[in-house]
Structure 1
Amino acid sequence: MAFVLKVYHASLNEAQADAGVLGVQGASPFERLDWLALLAEMCLAPAAPRISVATDGARVAALPWMEAHGGAEALANWYNFIVSPLGDSALLSEITRTLPAGRASFAPMSEKDAKALAAALRCSGWIVISEPCDMNHILPVKNRSFAEYWAARPGALRETVRRKGRKGEVALRIVTEFSAADWDAYETVYKLSWKPGEGSPDFLRRWAEMDGAAGRLRLGIAEIGGQPVAAQFWTVEGGTAFIHKLAHDERFRKQSPGTLLSAAMFEHVIDRDGVSLVDFGTGNDPYKRDWMEEVRTRWRVRAWRKGAVRHWPQMFRAMVRAMVRAMGKHKLQPLVSPNRDG
């Protein structure tokens, strides 16, 4: 039986009614249509969310995006660890050929997905720049127990947990079901922390409710004398623990409640949930190196249609910056091979 290729651009609500699109969702919150729909509803207005779909009956590819700043941009904001095309990458060029925009920008992406999207854009006639944009710290568990993982942490970190935990001042609990009281405790700690104001607290609450109902929520609370002093919002999905939000009350810094809570959270997801990966999101914060063991580069793909004249100035500026970066990187290469003797 021969299948006819079909390409269409739908709303997220339409896509959620399409079994083929639902079937190519990924194994992270950022690749689920319900999460993307919630993000679009509560965080991305007035941008218009879309999902472009190509199907030939047997295969399906989908690309979530939004109309913003005069072009097609990733359906994302600071809550996304990653953005991804979904499904069969062999059909991506059919989508990029029909994107109703003169420019496009997608980030942060894995190297594999960035290469696939960049290749599809070039194949359909776009001018493309693909470049690193961020770092992602991860912990591949490698079938270790928490005790085995913990034995490999820096000595200063382990000593802090040993000393402060022995004092018994900090009470720790980890909940997997949403409750308004627990979430209120999280929000109270966040407001007292060093963190900037939360971009969309209502979105986070709805997300926690949604993932609590699905069994994916891991909310950690540390208390001193019954008062919440540290809180962490994690989720577990597809064998990965995602660390979304950390906060602690600066007034209790000496008791290290955030560090104690982190150790308890890692123990929970490794020994109880049996995850194979812990993902600390984007950002190259130095403290992440104490807990994680590998770093992945995240990529940005930018593209312009050759005929979109009004975008040419932006395109040329971006190309010049990319060439300057490439030349600077080239200059840093050793003149002598590191394997050469002498």
Structure 2
Amino acid sequence: MGVTVYHADLREAQADPALAALLGRSPISAPFDRLDWLALLAAHCFPDAPCKLAIARDGDALAALPFREGPGGAAPLGTWYSFFVRPLINDPPRAPELFEALARSLASSGAVQLSPMPETEATALATAFRAAGWIGVAEPCDTNHILELKGRSFAEYWATRPGQLRETVRRKTARGKVTLRIETAFSAADWAAYEAIYARSWKPEEGNPAFLRAFAEAESAAGALRMGIAEIDGEPVAAQFWTVEGGTAWIHKLAHDEAQRAHSPGTLLTAALLRHVIDEDRVHTVDFGTGNDPYKRDWMEAQRPRFALRFYRPAAVGHWPALARLAASAVKRRMRTPRPQPALVSPQAAG
């Protein structure tokens, strides 16, 4: 029958049962793969950009790569809210063939830049783009901090945390100054508290608060919201927005009032949410997103790289300067890499 390749907008994809299953909520799904997440991004963050799915299918085998069309070529259908972007496939052994078909379908874009991408998908997609005649690289661009529980309870996990962190939580909890609560249903009052705390925190201005609120409301309706609020004398002083999906707790947003930093409300809230998702939700993984912030190492136990793909069509004259820069970078890397010394071989072995 052969591989069929086409590009569909997100509305078309919603009407396709096979695509809806591939890009839907499931026991192994992640928020950033879902069609409803992509639709929210398109509506709130890219209202003027064509947001599409490149789709390759052969019988029941199906692969899809979300992207948006930009002035420089194909760009990721993701923002600072996205822990990652990646292609999806329902038949992994068919990935080389279907991913190469996706890569060929993007030839008219002239250039493709996708990030941040998990290493497995980045490697597979880079191989596919090269097989399809593109020239480019897949390079580390960010770090993802995670905690893999491997069946541990919160108490077992907590016993391995740095002593200073555990002592801070013990002392500040004993003082009884901070009250904590964890909500699983969206509340306009709690969300207003989060936004007020965020405005008083060390964080930069929120990029798209309307998108984040819409996502929180949708996750609440799906039973996936975990909203933590810390209060002092009835006044909210820290807030965190997590979701639980596919056996993973995803830490989307956290903020605390800098004026109340001495009471460590954010630290107490993180510990309480971890206890909740580990002992009650029974997650196997906690994902702290991208960004190599030092404080994440106190809570998480492993890091993994995220990759940026930059590929160009050789015939796209407008991208020749970018190709020249790639070639120059490759030469510099080779010059910096020591050449291996030839192994000494005995005459007997050589003979």
TM-score of the superposition, structure 2-length normalised? Answer: 0.91
Deviation at 1:317, TM superposition (A): 1.2
Q: Deviations along 1:111-136, whole A, 9 cap, x unmatched? A: 11001111111111111211110000
Cα RMSD after superposing both structures = 1.5
1:95 pairs with one of 98, 102, 107: 102
Deviation at 1:319, TM superposition (A): 3.1
Q: Does 1:141 align with 2:139?
A: no
Q: Does 1:258 align with 2:266?
A: yes
Which runs of 5 or more structure 2 residues have no equivalent in the other structure? 342-351
Q: Conserved in 2, the CA contact under 8 Å of 1:8 and 1:52?
A: yes
Question: d(CA) in 2 for partners of 1:19 and 1:92?
Answer: 21
Q: Does 1:163 align with 2:197?
A: no
Q: For this pair of structures, how many residues does the alignment match?
A: 331
Q: Secondary structure at the match of 1:153?
A: coil
Deviation at 1:320, TM superposition (A): 1.9
Question: d(CA) in 2 for partners of 1:247 and 1:327?
Answer: 45
TM-score of the superposition, structure 1-length normalised? Answer: 0.94
Partner AA of 1:11 in structure 2: D
1:152 corresponds in structure 2 to 160
Deviation at 1:318, TM superposition (A): 2.9
Q: Does 1:74 align with 2:76?
A: yes
Question: d(CA) in 2 for partners of 1:327 and 1:271?
Answer: 52
Q: Deviations along 1:290-329, whole A, 9 cap, x unmatched? A: 000000011111100111011010121133234434544x
1:23 corresponds in structure 2 to 21
Which runs of 5 or more structure 1 residues have no equivalent in the other structure? 336-342
Q: Conserved in 2, the CA contact under 8 Å of 1:93 and 1:123?
A: yes
Q: Does 1:188 align with 2:196?
A: yes
Q: Deviations along 1:77-127, whole A, 9 cap, x unmatched? A: 111111110114231111111113100011111111001111111111111
Matches within 5 A, 1:203-222: 203-222=211-230
Deviation at 1:17, TM superposition (A): 1.2
1:338 corresponds in structure 2 to none
Partner AA of 1:51 in structure 2: L
Question: d(CA) in 1 for partners of 2:330 and 2:223?
Answer: 44
Identity of aligned residues (%): 58
Matches within 5 A, 1:105-116: 105-116=113-124
Question: d(CA) in 2 for partners of 1:228 and 1:327?
Answer: 56
Deviation at 1:217, TM superposition (A): 0.6
Distance 1:63 1:167, change over 3 A: same
Question: d(CA) in 2 for partners of 1:126 and 1:334?
Answer: 30
Matches within 5 A, 1:30-69: 30-69=32-71
Q: Conserved in 1, the CA contact under 8 Å of 2:7 and 2:54?
A: yes
Q: Secondary structure at the match of 2:211?
A: helix
Distance 1:323 1:158, change over 3 A: farther
Question: d(CA) in 2 for partners of 1:264 and 1:325?
Answer: 46
Q: Conserved in 2, the CA contact under 8 Å of 1:223 and 1:229?
A: yes
Q: Conserved in 2, the CA contact under 8 Å of 1:29 and 1:35?
A: yes
